[in-house]
Structure 1
Amino acid sequence: MSSSNQTQNPVLKEDALADILKRIEDLTKGRLTYPPRITKYELARIVAARARQLAMGAQPLIDPQKLGTYDPIAIALEEVRRGLIPFVIVRTLPNGKHVRIKLKELLKLSEEFDVKI
């Protein structure tokens, strides 16, 4: 059994190294903007916007009964955690250009960088 673990470890390390190299390439070519995660300001803005929609009568994307609350902020935060909200985040770069990132993609990056929401 130890011999199979030894053969799998180099493959896992190569995959991790390839992923790191891909991220570096994405950063240098401008396909990935810093920070590669959702910021607390972006999170606050998204939750506030979605909570306002819910308070104005929008249908929740999750079941509030299963969540145990009808609080729009709690519902909005849970919808963000699950990646259900189809929002796009627009970041302005120092050179004045704008980058549009889907919330779902940013949440995936946040998971990879161990950011808790």
Structure 2
Amino acid sequence: MSNQDSEPEIDNSDLEGNSRSQSSFGDAIEDQEDELGSSESGEQKSVTSDSSEDEEQNEIIRTGAMIQQSKGRKINKNERITPPFITKYELARVIGTRALQISKNSPIYVDPKDSIDPITIAEQEFNENKIPFIIRRYLPNGNFEDWELQELERLD
């Protein structure tokens, strides 16, 4: 017996319509790339910043639920209702964000003392109150409070 007799023949006529140039939805991939390419090269999306002009040097770290951001308003410093203590979650976020910045060659605000670990350097900056971050705490009604990192006390 030959190999041709024992193996069934495969009908390739059904496979011809499903080529690599089509997506699983039946649209040609080239067409999708053209649409993506035209949107990327045509219009450039503007990026807005959450910080005002006086907060240029500070990065805002958002915490809490962000419910209806557009309808919320900033609470004044004298009307704040949240306690002036940094939570362990905010601390972890601040240290992690600052360590990431340091690992990407951001300027270091303290003397690292032979330390090359970004997390250790970020913790040292936090202990010396040198990190220029603002903690944004969202309230259940959609409003938010901005706390400078230097204003918050550490509970240890």
Name the TM tier (shorter chain).
Answer: 0.5 to 0.7
Taking the aligned partners of 1:92 and 1:84, their CA distance within structure 2 comes to 24
**Structure with greater proportional strand content:** 2
Task: Please state if 1:79 is matched with 2:129.
Answer: no
* Number of residue-to-residue matches in the alignment: 80
Give TM-score, length-normalised by structure 1: 0.62
Segments of 5+ residues of structure 1 without an aligned counterpart are 1-28
Q: Which structure has the greater CA radius of gyration?
A: 2
Offset, 1:53: 0.6
Among all aligned residue pairs of Structure 1 and Structure 2, give the percentage whose two residues are the same amino acid: 43
**Alignment-mate amino acid for residue 77 of structure 1:** E
**Alignment-mate amino acid for residue 47 of structure 1:** I
Offset, 1:31: 2.4
Task: Please state if 1:95 is matched with 2:141.
Answer: yes
RMSD: 1.8
**Structure with greater proportional helix content:** 1
String of CA shifts for 1:18-73, please: whole Å, max 9, x gaps: xxxxxxxxxxx9623323200011001111110001101112111112xx422100
Q: 1:62 to 1:33 in 2, by over 3 A?
A: same
Task: Please state if 1:70 is matched with 2:116.
Answer: yes
Task: Please state if 1:39 is matched with 2:69.
Answer: no
Segments of 5+ residues of structure 2 without an aligned counterpart are 1-76
Q: 1:95 to 1:30 in 2, by over 3 A?
A: farther
